[in-house]
Amino acid sequence: KAAALPTRKTLEDFDWDAQPATRQQIAALASGAFLTEARNVVLLGPPGTGKTHLATALGIVAARAGHRVLFATATDWVTRLTDAHRQGRLPQELARLRRYGLIIVDEVGYLPIEQDAANLFFQLVSSRYEHASLILTSNLPFSSWGNVFGDQAVAAAMIDRIVHHADVLTLKGASYRLRGRGIDSLPS
């Protein structure tokens, strides 16, 4: 399931007027220095604010700089890790994934993650900590991740490792998808 980038969304395509507050932060990330420092990027904000677009654009930056990149939704990562665990090859899978300079986890928070799967996801985060970068996107603030992962302690330990060396960007405003359609916002 985890594969190459799903679309060709670039930083050049991004309309900064819609997200002026994060422009400086993204410009700094565009150098790609976060990858060699094994830093993470967390993109938070409501639907349609450009999280997947920016995650993809930073993935393209990484690929251009010669890093190997994998992109999948949180749900797909969980499926992949669960399969590896069932087959008794989780350590090998985590070791293999460590060879990727960037792993993108899109859409943390749209679908709940079972407690067992949350433990596997925690192991993915741990295995990359201070070794290789993660980009995560979520519609939910960190304070709600305990509910997503069904375990407050695991979520807290995971967030602790993710944000220790990370840039956290909070995107704001109305959905870019609904622009000019006379729709202000969707129910959250």
Give me the least distance between CB of 47 and Mg ion, in Å please. Answer: 7
Alpha-carbon distance of 157 to 42, in angstroms, equals 16
Closest C-alpha to 109, from 153, 159, 75, 70: 75
Question: For Mg ion, which residue of 19, 22, 49, 52 counts as binding (CB under 5 A)?
Answer: 52
At 36, which helix (H) or strand (E)? helix 33-36
* 9 close to 61: Cβ distance less than 8 angstroms: no
Is residue 59 at the binding interface for ligand ADP, with CB under 6 A as the rule? no
CB of 130 vs ligand ADP, minimal distance in Å: 27
**Which is closer to ligand ADP, CB of 93 or CB of 107?**
107
SS3 70: strand
9 binds ligand ADP (CB under 6 A): yes
Cβ proximity to ligand ADP, 84 vs 136, nearer residue: 136
Q: Using the minimum distance from each CB to Mg ion, give the nearer residue, 52 or 133.
A: 52
CA–CA distance, 44 with 33 (Å, rounded to integer): 21
- The answer to whether residues 171 and 140 touch, using CB atoms and an 8 Å cutoff, is no
Total residues interacting with Mg ion, rule: CB under 5 A: 1
Q: Give the residue with the Cβ less far from Mg ion, 43 or 102.
A: 43
Residues that bind ligand ADP (CB under 6 A): 9, 13-15, 18-19, 45, 47-53, 176-177
